Amino acid sequence: MTTSKLYRAAKAALAADGKLTASQAAGDAFENDADDLPVDSAGWLAWYDTHKPVYAAWQAAMGALDAAGYDKRRHPFVFRPFCEAVIREHVAASRAAGGGRRR
């Protein structure tokens, strides 16, 4: 059975990971020149200024997930399925206990 703390941490970690993935995709979209540096350096620097807080939020969410019971020695590819399983288990337990639908 999952705890509410682990459920909230898993939900926040998935949300932060989604934002980080979107931010990284935006950064990857910059065209590079021959020396592998962005052609639009001013645009890239502006993107990076918006990316830093997204990355910091992801780090904080992962720290909260670790503190809630996620074993950080697990392989990084296991993180998303682990969080999804925690959410499924919590929702199922909530429904079984008569809590109805959880959002």
Is the Cβ–Cβ distance between 25 and 54 less than 8 Å?
no
Max CA distance (Å), the chain: 61
* Separation CA 84–CA 86 (nearest Å): 5
Per-residue pLDDT of the chain (103 residues; tens, 9 = 90+): 468 899 999 999 999 999 999 999 999 999 999 888 889 999 999 999 999 999 999 999 999 998 998 887 777 778 889 999 999 999 998 888 886 555 5
Break the chain into its structural domains and give their ranges.
4-96
Q: Determine the 3-state secondary structure of 26 from DSSP.
A: helix
* Separation CA 10–CA 65 (nearest Å): 6
- Give pTM, 2 decimals: 0.81
Looking at residue 22, its pLDDT comes to 96
